């Protein structure tokens, strides 16, 4: 149930401040990165004040936006929820947002106080035109969640010149597990790419998907120390989202989440020159799921505004409206005003677990 005393803006702003302070701390020996982050911290403070103004008007502005800038991908990873949801394929995508349209979204996000935009896909590095546009917005930090197979010399130059673009490479731990999920030879490509970025002093991160079965492996000193030695300074632990009912048993439960939180504290003490983050994080601390514009929302490659990537439902498209109006869509409003985002769930994503309820709400809103 809702906690009426919980202040979502205070929670989000505190989280953003902590990420920025930690990023500055780990960049002390990287002059170029440090200078950018000091400037960005000023932009982030300005963004926080913008969100506070909207909050006083009764409008919550999330700190984060997830932007799937393409539905195309060059890999076929086992258990990919994007392919399972038909949000990712091999065909040349049709009717996707152009680089100009994405630039307009980035500009709108800056104006309403969104500080972080996650670039996802598909494989976002297939849309270099959009990533180039993102580099024009130093007021926003763009983590780019990539499979890491397309970072070439041109991309290294772009990343070096635009420090608001932070590549986050997906890896499963060791070579055997990574290649079994992502394809033979992918692990060696990732390692080579990490070494190139380390040599050029480009800050980068890694994302590791954890399940009931692999949580001890991805949290192990062996895995983390290997990433540390390769120059990785940001690690995202992503909670596995089931692609169907048959894979629900892989989704972490509360016991795995407790293990994660305990191990995160240990890792933060042991590796003080790294940042460790988890997604979706502890929903008990955040007053429930942060989707549907509470803490973040998702725009798919065609412009549909969705609660989150794992809940691909939309009743509004940013091609036809502003992102501010999208945040107030009937679907988003119904989800935030109801108790569904605060509901208990077994594991994975609360909106996936209650997808029938989300579909019912969507149909009801479309009928109105």
Within a domain: 298? yes
The SS3 of residue 300 is coil
Between the CA of residue 65 and those of 176, 241, 259, 298, what are the distances in Å? Answer: 33, 18, 28, 6
CB atoms within 10 A of CB 139: 21
| Residues 93 and 301: beta-carbon distance below 8 Å | yes
pLDDT at 86: 60
Ranges of the chain whose pLDDT falls below 70: 1-5, 75-92, 179, 243-247, 281-287, 343-348, 368
pLDDT at 197: 95
- Dihedral sign for Cα atoms in the order 299, 171, 251, 287: negative
What DSSP character marks residue 174? S
Domain total of the chain: 1
Please report, for the domain that includes residue 95, its CATH number: 3.20.20.70
Strands (DSSP E) contained in the chain are 64-68, 116-120, 142-146, 165-170, 205-210, 234-239, 275-279, 298-299, 305-306
Torsion (CA) 306, 261, 7, 42 in degrees, nearest 10: -80
CB atoms within 10 A of CB 282: 12
Within a domain: 348? yes
Q: Of 239, 240, 142, 144, which Cα lies nearest the Cα of 193?
A: 144
- Dihedral sign for Cα atoms in the order 335, 124, 219, 80: positive
Within a domain: 2? no
Distance (Å, whole) CA 172 – CA 148: 13
pLDDT at 4: 58
Which domain range does residue 18 map to? 8-241+250-367
């Amino acid at each position: 149930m809702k906690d009426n005393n919980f202040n979502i803006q205070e929670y989000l702003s505190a989280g953003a401040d902590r990420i920025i302070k930690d990023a500055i701390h780990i960049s002390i020996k990287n002059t170029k990165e440090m200078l950018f982050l000091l400037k960005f911290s000023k932009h982030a403070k300005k963004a926080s004040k913008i969100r506070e103004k909207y909050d006083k008007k009764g409008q919550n502005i999330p700190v984060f936006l997830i932007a799937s800038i393409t539905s195309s991908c060059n890999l076929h990873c086992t258990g990919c929820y994007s392919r399972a949801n038909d949000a990712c394929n091999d065909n040349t995508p049709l009717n996707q947002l152009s680089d100009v349209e994405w630039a307009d979204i980035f500009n709108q996000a800056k104006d309403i106080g969104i500080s972080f935009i996650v670039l996802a896909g598909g494989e976002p590095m297939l849309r270099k035109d959009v990533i180039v546009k993102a580099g024009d917005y130093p007021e926003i930090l763009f983590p780019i969640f990539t499979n890491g197979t397309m970072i070439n010399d041109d991309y290294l130059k772009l990343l070096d010149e635009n420090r608001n673009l932070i590549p986050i490479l997906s890896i499963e731990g060791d070579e055997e597990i990574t290649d079994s999920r992502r394809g033979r030879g992918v692990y060696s490509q990732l390692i080579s790419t990490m070494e190139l970025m380390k040599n050029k002093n480009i800050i980068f991160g890694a994302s590791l998907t954890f399940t009931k079965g692999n949580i001890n492996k991805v949290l192990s000193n062996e895995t983390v120390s290997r990433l540390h030695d390769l120059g990785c300074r940001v690690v995202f632990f992503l909670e596995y989202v089931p692609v169907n009912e048959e894979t629900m048993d892989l989704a972490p439960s509360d016991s795995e989440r407790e293990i994660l939180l305990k191990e995160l504290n240990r890792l933060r003490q042991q590796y003080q020159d790294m940042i460790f983050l988890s997604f979706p994080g502890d929903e008990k601390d955040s007053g429930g799921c942060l989707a549907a514009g509470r803490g973040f929302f998702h725009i798919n490659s065609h412009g549909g505004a969705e609660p989150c990537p794992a809940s691909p439902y939309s009743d509004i498209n940013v091609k036809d409206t502003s992102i501010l109006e999208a945040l107030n869509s009937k679907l988003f409003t119904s989800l935030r005003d109801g108790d569904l985002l605060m509901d208990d769930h077994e594991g994975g994503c609360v909106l996936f677990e209650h997808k029938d309820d989300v579909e019912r709400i969507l149909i009801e809103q479309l009928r109105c």
